[in-house]
Amino acid sequence: MASVWTDIRAVLPSTVSEFPLDFSEKIELSVLKCLELSRDQLYSEADCPVSAERAQIIIDYSWEKLNIGTWRDVDKEWRRVYSYGCLFKVLSLCHGNPPQNIIQEAIRTCDMSLLMGAAIMDNILQRLVGILRNKIKTTSPNKAEWSEEPCSKKRKHDCKSEPVLNPTKEVPRIHCPSLERFRSDFLDSKKPVIIEGITDHWPAFTQHPWSIDYLRTVAGCRTVPIEVGSKYTDEEWSQKLITVNDFIDRYITGTEEDGVGYLAQHQLFDQVPELKEDIRIPDYCCLGEGDEDDITINAWFGPGGTVSPLHQDPQQNFLAQVVGRKYIRLYSPEETKSLYPHESQLLHNTSQVEVENPDLVKFPDFSRASYEECVLCPGDVLFIPLQHWHYVRSLELSFSVSFWWS
Amino acid sequence: MSWFGFGFNGFGQISRADVSGQVKCKVNSPVLISDDECKSGVNRSDRRIRACWSSRADLQQTQSGSGVYLSGCVCGPSAQVCVSQGCTDALISETHLTLSFTDRVELWEIKPQQNQLVWKREHELSAEHTAALPLVSGGFVQHKPPFFHPLKLCAVSLVLGSEHALLLTADGTLYSWGSGSHGQLGHGALTSLEDPQAVEALWGVPIKAVAAGNWHSAAVSSGGDLYMWGWNESGQLGLPSRGLEEEKRRGNGSGNDDQPMNTDEKSQTDVFISIQAFPALVDIANMSEISRISCGSRHTAAVTSAGDLYTWGWGQYGQLGHGTEHSTDEPTPVDYFSSHSLSVKDVVCGSWNTFVSVVPKETSSVLTETHPGLLN
């Protein structure tokens, strides 16, 4: 195997003049000095590694800047600085012939820049993680982890009870409707529907059927944000950054010691381009106003029992089910008053009611609200109209892909 | 009185570069801050220090008058530069330097070749202005435009976090405003406020000192109790921090050689606090009263009336002074000073470092023996 450093170095510009550090004046001179010293060190005569300490200083300082103001407000320049800090740290780690755990740390650093930074130098960190990924020796799995059984984890209490659907309230199903039919019968009338047959050609079902083994191979060493805690309205809810391998070990196939973990609402397909090639954007999205670039694609991967509390989103949604089944309940925006949304600004798009265990003393109107429900199975795509309230509970190991479009 | 410093030294702002031009980035135990500009043995008790992320400003009295001496990024790791004479107070940030004189306040923009004066305000000479920067008569000065902000309240103390402000009035009432996203305003919600609002939870508790970090706040009551609120991601509030628990479990994965904590022991409490939106009383073990408080970006330092220094919060650059790069959510004494018979008088934090003024313990014990009233 070629030395890690040789392959990494080959991705960098050959001269220092091709490595500009251009920033707006918002970036303070002191941190700019650190950036320049790191860059110059890279191109100096001596073959010594880029200072890990200085890279960490750049990362720590820009991290503080990233946490000032709301995410929207954060100056993109500071996110670029953060990415440069990560780049220098990766270069420092990869010097010489690093052992496996150091390569893993370098991959994690690349992921931090993809998650929190902004693309620099032609998305160099995406290219670097692609190289580093191939340097990781994957251990072969002991047994097939793609389980046929619905439960891959022992659970203390059965929160994966099979729901019994009310036939008069089931979401209608339709097979490969034409664009016109979908637009007139569902999009314009804002009616939910399950579309069948439009994901049959996805590589995720054909060439690379998604399984735990496959995910480990393609993305096992990658760091992703995980939600811990039964639902985001809980006090105990928190987020952590761990590798996909760790997530599977601790929250999918492990025991319940660590609680419920959910890889939720994460743009995994931007981070791991190989997975993006396994899915397709539904054709019906062209009925919207935006470009393909405006469509947000999120991954939802977790064990049985993950719950998304009843809430509404500001965009149209296609929820494609790839692995496992989910119970979903839908309420029209007209029912909003009976759903008791939280009053705070932060949670006003979320209902206070626990859909499958409602407190009818506190929320009496809830039982009168009309709804539709379904069990979404692999191959199904659920259309959730904009602002339509939805509640989701996974019945077993599940992987869904959502497409938010306007 | 001498000053010691510890923490981030990437620009030589604590101890300057050696002969080869190398700086030691992290100073994790207190070192004496040299003051070779003032060897004349003049009264040293007037020396004060201000610090930002990359630099330090010394206000010193010399035989020729008072001056501001800068160290760190602004002048390179091996130098110290005197920028002004006749200054009574100064505040330094990454981009600007505020200088207070008897008759005026100047705000300088720090530029590589030549500092540039951006705003200048004459004092209203009739009003006697004794409050510290960033307060000026009629308002306060910030290091980004618009530089001057008028204030209706009559403040004795004002401190600024990265996006919030705390103001103390003469009667001990504490006001806060700015971004509330991390609970740093202390009003119980995460909403932001444009105008000063009294912190109701402290109603009836007269406050004598305030401090602000990037996202956290501290208030000391006249009885010497410490209240804190805001973000606790590194334990800077002295409350149990989940992030530190995780770090211990991962064995401090930033390449530290230290052994990971024993993970079999369950932490004393299962309740972690990430954001504290109301003031919480911070219990500093068997402690006397707090007399001084200061906050860095993510750490806190407190001086007790008995002359001890306690630090807690983010410690990755040695800014807690315990000889390690560990963070902690428990207020911990900095043993260096007691073991060297030094009594701590004051503390001032830069973003990632801490500066402490001390006197030898003999002096203070002699004083209290002959002046028993001083014990109160």
Percent of chain A with pLDDT over 90: 79
pLDDT at position A73 is: 79
Q: Pairing mode, if any, of strands A389-394 and A380-384?
A: unpaired
Cβ distance B302 to B332 under 8 Å? no
Percent of chain A with pLDDT over 70: 93
Q: Tokens 């996202």 appear where?
A: B215
Under 8 Å CB-to-CB from A80, ≥6 apart: which residues? Answer: A23, A117, A118, A120
- In the predicted model, is pLDDT for residue A178 greater than 60? yes
Report chain A residues touching chain B, CB-CB < 8 A: 28-30, 33-34, 52-54, 56-57, 60-61, 64, 67-70, 105, 238, 240, 344-346
Query: Are A250 and A312 in a shared domain?
Result: yes
DSSP class per residue in B223-264: TS-EEEEEE-TTSTTSS--HHHHHHHHTT-TTT--SPPP-TT
CB spacing of B55 vs A30 below 8 angstroms:
yes
**Shortest CA gap B372–chain A (Å):** 47
Under 8 Å CB-to-CB from B341, ≥6 apart: which residues? Answer: B360, B361, B362
> What distances in angstroms separate CA A227 from CA A232, A236, A251, A259, one per listed residue?
8, 10, 11, 10
Burial class (CB in 10 A: 0-12, 13-18, 19+), B113: exposed
CB spacing of A30 vs B73 below 8 angstroms:
yes
pLDDT at position B103 is: 82
Residue A164 placed within a domain: no
Structure tokens, B93: 């940030």
pLDDT at position B78 is: 60
For residue A259, what pLDDT band results from cuts at 50, 70 and 90? confident
pLDDT at position B79 is: 63
pLDDT digits (tens, 9 = 90+) for A386-399: 999 999 999 999 99
Structure tokens, A50: 């880029």
Q: Which of B13, B26, B27, B54 to mutate to test the interface with A (most CBs of A within 10 A)?
A: B54
For residue A149, what pLDDT band results from cuts at 50, 70 and 90? very low
pLDDT at position B181 is: 93
Query: Are A228 and A81 in a shared domain?
Result: no
Cα distance between residue A194 and residue A209, in whole Å: 22
Least Cα distance to A165 among A26, A330, A324 occurs for A330
- In the predicted model, is pLDDT for residue A25 greater than 90? no
> What distances in angstroms separate CA A107 from CA A112, A129, A267, A270, B33, one per listed residue?
9, 6, 17, 15, 41
DSSP class per residue in A41-90: HHTSSS-PPPPHHHHHHHHHHHHHHHTSS-TTTS-HHHHHHHHHHHHHHH
Q: Centre a 10 Å sphere on the Cβ of residue A190 and count the other Cβ atoms it contains.
A: 15
Query: Are A131 and A210 in a shared domain?
Result: no
CB spacing of B215 vs A67 below 8 angstroms:
yes
The chain A residue lying nearest B74, using CA atoms, is A30
Contacts B162 to A, Cβ<8 Å: 64, 68
Does B145 reach chain A within 8 Å, measured CB to CB?
no
Contacts A57 to B, Cβ<8 Å: 8, 10, 25
> What distances in angstroms separate CA B207 from CA B90, B172, B296, one per listed residue?
24, 4, 20
Does B80 reach chain A within 8 Å, measured CB to CB?
no
> What distances in angstroms separate CA A68 from CA A64, A103, B239, one per listed residue?
7, 31, 22
Specify the long-range contacts of residues A360-368, CB closer than 8 Å, at least 24 apart: A365/A337, A365/A338, A365/A340, A366/A338, A366/A339, A366/A340, A368/A338
Helix (H, G, I), strand (E, B) or coil at B363: helix
Under 8 Å CB-to-CB from A386, ≥6 apart: which residues? Answer: A190, A313, A314, A315, A316, A317, A406
Structure tokens, A63: 């991290």
Q: Which of B112, B189, B316 is nearest residue A29 as measured by Cβ atoms?
A: B112
Interface contacts A/B by beta carbons within 8 Å: 47
DSSP class per residue in B192-215: -EEEEEE-GGGTT--EEEEEE-SS
Query: Are A129 and A178 in a shared domain?
Result: no
Residue A211 placed within a domain: yes
Helix (H, G, I), strand (E, B) or coil at A275: helix
Does B215 reach chain A within 8 Å, measured CB to CB?
yes
Q: A138, A161, A181 — which closes off a domain?
A: A138
Q: Which of A23, A27, A28, A347 to mutate to test the interface with B (most CBs of B within 10 A)?
A: A28
Cα distance between residue B66 and residue A348, in whole Å: 57
pLDDT digits (tens, 9 = 90+) for A56-90: 999 999 999 999 987 777 789 999 999 999 999 99
pTM: 0.90
For residue A139, what pLDDT band results from cuts at 50, 70 and 90? low
Does B297 reach chain A within 8 Å, measured CB to CB?
yes
The count of structural domains within chain A is 2
**Shortest CA gap A102–chain B (Å):** 10
**Shortest CA gap B313–chain A (Å):** 15
Least Cα distance to A91 among A144, A35, A141 occurs for A35
Residue A159 placed within a domain: no
Query: Are A131 and A222 in a shared domain?
Result: no
Bridge partners, residue A228, by sequence? A238, A261
Contacts A54 to B, Cβ<8 Å: 10, 25
Cα distance between residue B331 and residue B280, in whole Å: 14
CB spacing of A57 vs B10 below 8 angstroms:
yes
pLDDT at position B171 is: 93
CB spacing of B10 vs A34 below 8 angstroms:
yes
Query: Are A317 and A180 in a shared domain?
Result: yes
pLDDT at position A115 is: 96
Q: A95, A121, A138 — which closes off a domain?
A: A138
Structure tokens, A327: 């119970």
The chain A residue lying nearest B11, using CA atoms, is A30
Q: Which of A66, A67, A73, A346 to mutate to test the interface with B (most CBs of B within 10 A)?
A: A67
- In the predicted model, is pLDDT for residue A157 greater than 70? no
Contacts A92 to B, Cβ<8 Å: none
pLDDT at position A317 is: 98
Query: Are A132 and A275 in a shared domain?
Result: no
Cβ distance B125 to B102 under 8 Å? no
- In the predicted model, is pLDDT for residue A156 greater than 50? no
Cβ distance A320 to A398 under 8 Å? no
Q: Pairing mode, if any, of strands A193-196 and A173-175?
A: parallel
Burial B244-280 (b: 16+ CB within 10 A, else e): bbebbeeebeeeeeeeebeeeeeeeeeebbbbbbebb
Query: Are A116 and A206 in a shared domain?
Result: no
Residue A83 placed within a domain: yes
Which domain CATH number covers A209?
2.60.120.650
pLDDT digits (tens, 9 = 90+) for A206-216: 999 999 999 99
Q: What is the largest CA-CA distance in chain B?
A: 66
Cβ distance B202 to B219 under 8 Å? yes
Helix (H, G, I), strand (E, B) or coil at B353: strand
CB spacing of B214 vs A60 below 8 angstroms:
no
Query: Are A114 and A199 in a shared domain?
Result: no
> What distances in angstroms separate CA B168 from CA B142, B198, B256, one per listed residue?
17, 10, 41
Ranges A91-95, A230-234, A256-260, B320-324: which has the least confidence: A230-234
Residue A359 placed within a domain: yes
Q: Centre a 10 Å sphere on the Cβ of residue B357 and count the other Cβ atoms it contains.
A: 23
Contacts B189 to A, Cβ<8 Å: 344
**Shortest CA gap B54–chain A (Å):** 7
Cα distance between residue B207 and residue B275, in whole Å: 22
Cα distance between residue B280 and residue B229, in whole Å: 6
Strands, E assignment, A69-196: 173-175, 193-196
Query: Are A133 and A213 in a shared domain?
Result: no
Residue A274 placed within a domain: yes
Residue A145 placed within a domain: no
Query: Are A123 and A215 in a shared domain?
Result: no
Cβ distance A85 to A58 under 8 Å? yes
Under 8 Å CB-to-CB from A309, ≥6 apart: which residues? Answer: A231, A232, A233, A350, A351, A354, A355, A391
Cα distance between residue A382 and residue A328, in whole Å: 9
Give me the tens of pLDDT residue by residue for chain B, a chain 376 residues long: 899 999 999 999 998 877 777 789 999 999 999 775 544 444 456 788 999 999 999 888 766 667 888 888 877 666 666 667 788 889 999 999 998 888 888 888 887 666 676 777 766 544 556 788 999 888 999 998 888 999 999 999 999 999 999 999 999 999 999 999 999 999 998 999 999 999 999 999 999 999 999 999 999 999 999 999 999 999 999 999 988 877 776 654 443 333 334 444 444 457 889 999 999 999 886 667 999 999 999 999 999 999 999 999 999 999 999 999 999 999 999 999 999 999 999 999 999 999 999 999 875 555 555 555 444 3
Give the domain range for residue A130: 4-138
CB spacing of B214 vs A64 below 8 angstroms:
yes
Query: Are A92 and A191 in a shared domain?
Result: no
pLDDT at position B32 is: 94
Q: A93, A120, A138 — which closes off a domain?
A: A138
Cα distance between residue B167 and residue B160, in whole Å: 9
**Shortest CA gap B95–chain A (Å):** 7
Q: Tokens 């902004």 appear where?
A: A118
Residue A368 placed within a domain: yes
The chain A residue lying nearest B272, using CA atoms, is A236
Mean pLDDT of A327-353: 94
For residue A161, what pLDDT band results from cuts at 50, 70 and 90? confident
pLDDT at position B37 is: 52
Ranges A6-20, A154-168, B194-208, B297-311: which has the least confidence: A154-168
- In the predicted model, is pLDDT for residue A131 greater than 80? yes
